[in-house]
Amino acid sequence: MSQFFISIMAKFILGKKIEMSQIFSKDGKVIPVTLIEAGPCFVTQVKGKEKHGYEAVQIGFKKKNKVKKSEKGKGFSYLKEFKSKELGTKNQKLKIGDKIDVSIFKENDTVKISGISKGKGFQGAVKRWGFSGMGASHGVKHEHRTLGSVGSTDAARVFKGKKMPGRMGGERITQRNLKIVKIDLKSNLIAVKGAVPGRKGTLLEIINR
């Protein structure tokens, strides 16, 4: 396969989370949705087995107005590489410079969306893991939100992987089987039913396969 072309099967694009909102269906029911600015994206690099050892396509999102000399060849704010293993293969070819926008999707398409979840800082076990904490009975003092015993009688140490207080959030999360409710081609917007990972402005990877 030439390094200038790649055959893909999935529909994929990069987007930015705008906000959560709601729309009404034809029968008057409220549908909670997340609004996403998706694309337009452009193919910036295509990798083939002959030269790179694997097949992938890199796309850029959000063109920069000014590009520094040190950033030559990186005229986009966001670059993301999608491997062909993740996308599958078909007789549809992409080459450098090709444009990808929301027109590749249709309403009622099912997608999976990946992004970095909200960072919540250092949290206790009650919030981080859903522990119930200590009882509120007589004799419990300043211990209501502690996690309780963590050691072992025999080993006399705390085992690795124990659910403990620590840094919460800021992890890569993938939500599957999300339904596209509405598409606005003029504004490059898609409305997805339900919530997606991250805060406002989070970069999202959207794939329909």
Give me the helices (H) in 38-132, please. Answer: 49-52, 84-87, 125-129
Examine the domain organization and report whether 83 and 186 are in the same domain: yes
Q: Looking at the predicted structure, is the pLDDT value of residue 4 above 50?
A: no
pLDDT of residue 135: 83
pLDDT of residue 22: 92
From 10, 12, 95, 99, select the one nearest 63 (Cα to Cα). 99
The enclosing domain of 193 has a CATH number of 2.40.30
Examine the domain organization and report whether 113 and 130 are in the same domain: no
Mean pLDDT of the chain: 84
Examine the domain organization and report whether 144 and 107 are in the same domain: no
Examine the domain organization and report whether 150 and 184 are in the same domain: no
Count how many domains the chain has. 2
Examine the domain organization and report whether 148 and 187 are in the same domain: no
Where in the sequence is the domain holding 138, given as residue range(s)? 120-169
From 11, 118, 115, 6, select the one nearest 55 (Cα to Cα). 6
- DSSP secondary structure string for all residues of 158-188: PPTT---SEEEE--EEEEEEEEEEEEETTTT
Examine the domain organization and report whether 195 and 94 are in the same domain: yes
More confident residue, 75 or 73: 75
pLDDT of residue 179: 93
pLDDT of residue 193: 94
The string of pLDDT tens digits covering residues 112-168 is 999 999 999 999 999 999 998 888 888 888 888 888 888 777 778 888 888 999 999
Examine the domain organization and report whether 91 and 152 are in the same domain: no
pLDDT of residue 1: 39
Examine the domain organization and report whether 27 and 37 are in the same domain: yes
Provide the 8-state DSSP code for 3: T
Examine the domain organization and report whether 33 and 57 are in the same domain: yes
Beta bridge partners of 190: 36, 183
Place of tokens 């504004």: 187
Q: pLDDT band at 50, cuts 50/70/90?
A: confident
Q: Which range, of 69-78, 84-93, 102-111, averages the lowest pLDDT?
A: 84-93
pLDDT of residue 197: 93
Examine the domain organization and report whether 114 and 124 are in the same domain: no
Examine the domain organization and report whether 176 and 129 are in the same domain: no
More confident residue, 95 or 118: 118
Average pLDDT over residues 191-196: 93
Examine the domain organization and report whether 200 and 158 are in the same domain: no
